Amino acid sequence: MRYSNQGRFQQQFRFLRHQFLQDGDLPFCNILSEQTVAQALTAIETCFLDRIYPPLVTLWVFLGQVLSQDQSCRAAVARLIAHRVSRKQRPCSAETGAYCLARKRLPEKFFSEVARRTGSALETNAKEQWLWKRRRVLAYDGSTVSMPDTAKNQQAYPQPPQQKPGVGFPLARIAVFFSLSCGAVVDLGICSNAGKGHSELGMLRKLWNILLPGDVMLADRYMCAWTELVMLKKRGVDSVTRINQHRRVDFRRGRRLAKGDHVVEWPKPRKPRSIDQQTYDTLPEFLVVRETRVQVEQPGFRSTAIIIATTLLDAEEITKDDLAELYRARWNAELDLRSLKQTMQMDILRCKTPELVRKEIWTHILVYNLIRTILAQAASKHDVEPRSISFKGAIQTLEAFQPLIAIQGEHDSTHRRSLYQQLLDALATHRVADRPDRIEPRQRKRRQKKYDRMMKPRHELKRDILNGLSEN
**Beta-bridge mates of residue 310:** 240, 290
Task: Reply yes or no on whether the pLDDT at 286 is more than 90.
Answer: yes
pLDDT value, residue 85:
81
* Tens-place pLDDT, residues 370-427: 899 889 999 999 999 999 999 999 888 888 877 676 665 555 567 777 888 888 899 8
Task: Reply yes or no on whether the pLDDT at 130 is more than 70.
Answer: yes
Measured between alpha carbons, how far is 207 from 227 in angstroms, rounded to an integer? 15
pLDDT value, residue 368:
93
Question: Helix/strand/coil (H, E, C) string of the chain?
Answer: CCCCCHHHHHHHHHHHHHHHHHHCCCCCCCCCCHHHHHHHHHHHCCCCCCCCCCHHHHHHHHHHHHHCCCCCHHHHHHHHHHHHHHCCCCCCCCCCHHHHHHHHHCCHHHHHHHHHHHHHHHHHCCCHHHCECCECEEEEEEEEEECCCCHHHHHHCCCCCCCCCCCCCCEEEEEEEEECCCCCEEEEEEEECCCCCCCHHHHHHHHHHHCCCCCEEEECHHHCCHHHHHHHHHCCCEEEEECCCCCCCCCCCCEEEECCEEEEEEECCCCCCCCCHHHHHHCCCEEEEEEEEEEECCCCCCCEEEEEEECCCCCCCCCHHHHHHHHHCCHHHHHHHHHHHHHCCCCECCCCCHHHHHHHHHHHHHHHHHHHHHHHHHHHHHCCCHHHECHHHHHHHHHHHHHHHHHHHHCCHHHHHHHHHHHHHHHHCCECCCCCCCCCCCCCCCCCCCCCCCCCCHHHHHHHHHHHHHHC
Average pLDDT over residues 58-84: 82
More confident residue, 42 or 344: 344
pTM of the model: 0.85
Kindly give, in sequence order, each residue whose CB lies less than 8 Å from that of residue 453, ignoring residues fewer than 6 positions away: none
Task: Reply yes or no on whether the pLDDT at 48 is more than 60.
Answer: no
Measured between alpha carbons, how far is 343 from 284 in angstroms, rounded to an integer? 45
Average pLDDT over residues 230-248: 92
* Tens-place pLDDT, residues 134-190: 999 999 999 999 999 999 999 999 998 888 888 889 999 999 999 999 999 999 999
For the chain, domain boundaries: 234-322
CA 363 to chain CA centroid, Å, is: 10
pLDDT value, residue 449:
73
Q: How many residues does the chain have?
A: 472
Measured between alpha carbons, how far is 334 from 140 in angstroms, rounded to an integer? 10
CA atoms within 13 A on the CB side of 66: 29
pLDDT value, residue 6:
46
pLDDT value, residue 65:
82
Q: In what order do the strands lie in the sheet with 238-242?
A: 185-192, 171-179, 137-146, 216-219, 238-242, 304-310, 286-296, 261-267, 255-258
Average pLDDT over residues 353-375: 92
Task: Reply yes or no on whether the pLDDT at 288 is more than 90.
Answer: yes
CA atoms within 13 A on the CB side of 410: 5
pLDDT value, residue 108:
86
pLDDT value, residue 20:
42
pLDDT band at 68 (very low <50, low <70, confident <90, very high): confident
pLDDT value, residue 84:
79
Average pLDDT over residues 290-315: 81
Measured between alpha carbons, how far is 242 from 244 in angstroms, rounded to an integer? 6
Task: Identify whether the C-beta of residue 187 lies closer than 8 Å to the C-beta of residue 365.
Answer: no
Kindly give, in sequence order, each residue whose CB lies less than 8 Å from that of residue 279, ignoring residues fewer than 6 positions away: none
Number of neighbours of residue 259 by Cβ within 10 angstroms: 9
How many percent of the chain have pLDDT more than 70? 82
Q: Tell me the Cα Rg of the chain.
A: 25
More confident residue, 219 or 44: 219
pLDDT value, residue 379:
92
* Tens-place pLDDT, residues 73-100: 888 888 888 877 877 778 888 888 888 8
pLDDT value, residue 27:
39
* Residue 236 backbone dihedrals phi, psi, to 5 degrees: 85, 15
* Tens-place pLDDT, residues 313-355: 999 999 998 998 899 889 899 999 999 999 888 999 988 999 9
pLDDT value, residue 285:
92
Measured between alpha carbons, how far is 34 from 56 in angstroms, rounded to an integer? 11
